[in-house]
Amino acid sequence: MSEKPEKTKKLSTEPYKGVRDFYPVDMAIQNYIFDTWKKTAESFGYEEYGASVLEPANLYKAKSGDEIVNEQTYTFIDRGEREVTLRPEMTPTLARMVAAKKRELVFPLRWYSIPNLFRYEQPQRGRVREHWQLNVDLFGIDGISADVEIISLASQVMKDFGATESDFLIKISSREWLDKWLEWLALELGDDLKTQTNKEHLFKLLDIKDKDPERFAAGLKKIRSDLTPNLVLGKEIDWDAIEKNLNVKTKSLTSKLKAAGINNAIIDLTSVIRGFDYYTGIVFEIYDTDPKNRRALFGGGRYDDLTSLFGGDRIPAVGFGMGDVTIRDFLETRGLLPKTKAPADYYICVMGQEEAAFAEKIAKNLRDNGSRVAVDFTYKKIGDQIKSADKRGILNVIVIGPEEAKNGKVKVKNLKSGEEKAL
């Protein structure tokens, strides 16, 4: 039973832990981020889709990864005894939607969405319990060109936000390459590293090696007492050995990205692991080059088998998710956020109630001509009303008193230049 708040106790003004309120200044930033996301995605020919935040819980159990499902989902039983989850990510929903209509849809699909997602995480810088995420996904293309397009789009979003290539780094790895690397490592350090359990441990540890080097070292010791970070990572990676028998060549990916005008992408095999079990090919993450910000800004990868969970053929897919929290932090620290726009083009100051109808008429005329107009009906001193316009950053002020109402002539004052003009 839910407890009723005591009548005498005041309710808290704090939002629920880990979620955010969006005051108008925040909303203006949010809208700027969403507008930029949409513009970039649409410039590559991507179409927008959407879905409900509620999903059956079993959608995530098959392939999302243990940490997300067991520790991070908001799951509850509804009134009809169904287990329901507030979606923690969009990819399973997207795979479900594509699988449901695969006969009608025209492939390749280029789709994007900006869903609100919920994860029960420990709130900290860059991590909250509710965030919005641009999802860009390309379905139906097996080849490396699709990987290049998705990484190019990810890079273009950053550039459209005003970032230059020196501000961010694209780190690329691949599940296939990681498997080959492990084979090579096992050749050097012993076959027991290749067992499924050791492989999973090793990959999970790699995921934390930069964030938590001590836990990384301790974890390696647990796999085998003689394993040290130096032994595992210290050797120059033998790319030729790793690339043998692979269709996707690492060098060809970086050179194709260069040809697409991307010069800040590097192959970093053991740095980009990503937490989801559904990735099958390349995985990538974008990092801030400022060493103070060590967390990935966003990431994605190829997942060619997810639609087969719903029966039928596999459909190759590649995409990424970019969160609003990390990009906002990045834009703020880099001074890349544009100045917020004033809420109106004109502010009409009204001396008294008698002039209110005339003020409204002027406002309507201006609005009919496409301007944004706010009318101050406080009837405070005109000086105070002008201050109020100034505080909101509104540039043009119109003062309406008995004189203006009588002869119908109105002047506009530009608060910045002080200039006055007849309207």
Q: Which residues bind ligand HAM (CB under 6 A)?
A: 89, 91, 119, 121, 127-128, 131, 133, 135, 137, 296, 298-301, 319-323, 325-326
For residue 212, what are the CA distances in angstroms to 112, 207, 290? 34, 9, 18
Nearest distance in Å: CB 387, ligand HAM: 38
**Strand order through the sheet with 411-414:** 373-376, 346-350, 396-400, 411-414, 420-422
Token pair in block for residue 125: 């810088």
CA distance 169 to 290: 10
Angle at 181 between CA 178 and CA 186, to 5 degrees: 125
* Nearer of residues 73 and 135 to ligand HAM, judged by Cβ: 135
Angle at 136 between CA 160 and CA 18, to 5 degrees: 85
Q: Of all residues in this chain, which one has the CB nearest to ligand HAM in the complex?
A: 323
* Nearer of residues 115 and 219 to ligand HAM, judged by Cβ: 115
Nearest distance in Å: CB 128, ligand HAM: 5
What three-state secondary structure class fits 134? strand
Q: Are strands 317-323 and 130-139 parallel, antiparallel or unpaired?
A: antiparallel
* Nearer of residues 146 and 193 to ligand HAM, judged by Cβ: 146
Task: Could you list the beta-strand ranges (E) of 200-341.
Answer: 265-267, 282-288, 296-302, 317-323
* Nearer of residues 300 and 316 to ligand HAM, judged by Cβ: 300
Nearest distance in Å: CB 408, ligand HAM: 55
* Nearer of residues 302 and 413 to ligand HAM, judged by Cβ: 302
Task: Indicate the helix (H) or strand (E) that contains 400.
Answer: strand 396-400
* Nearer of residues 121 and 360 to ligand HAM, judged by Cβ: 121
* Nearer of residues 272 and 349 to ligand HAM, judged by Cβ: 272
Token pair in block for residue 376: 């101050």
Nearest distance in Å: CB 87, ligand HAM: 10
Nearest distance in Å: CB 323, ligand HAM: 3
* Nearer of residues 120 and 377 to ligand HAM, judged by Cβ: 120
Nearest distance in Å: CB 337, ligand HAM: 17
CA distance 331 to 327: 6
CA distance 191 to 308: 32
Nearest distance in Å: CB 221, ligand HAM: 28
Contact predicate 177/250, CB 8 Å: yes
Count Cα atoms within 13 angstroms, Cβ side, for 388. 19
Contact predicate 324/149, CB 8 Å: no
Residue keyed to tokens 């002047």: 411
Nearest distance in Å: CB 205, ligand HAM: 18
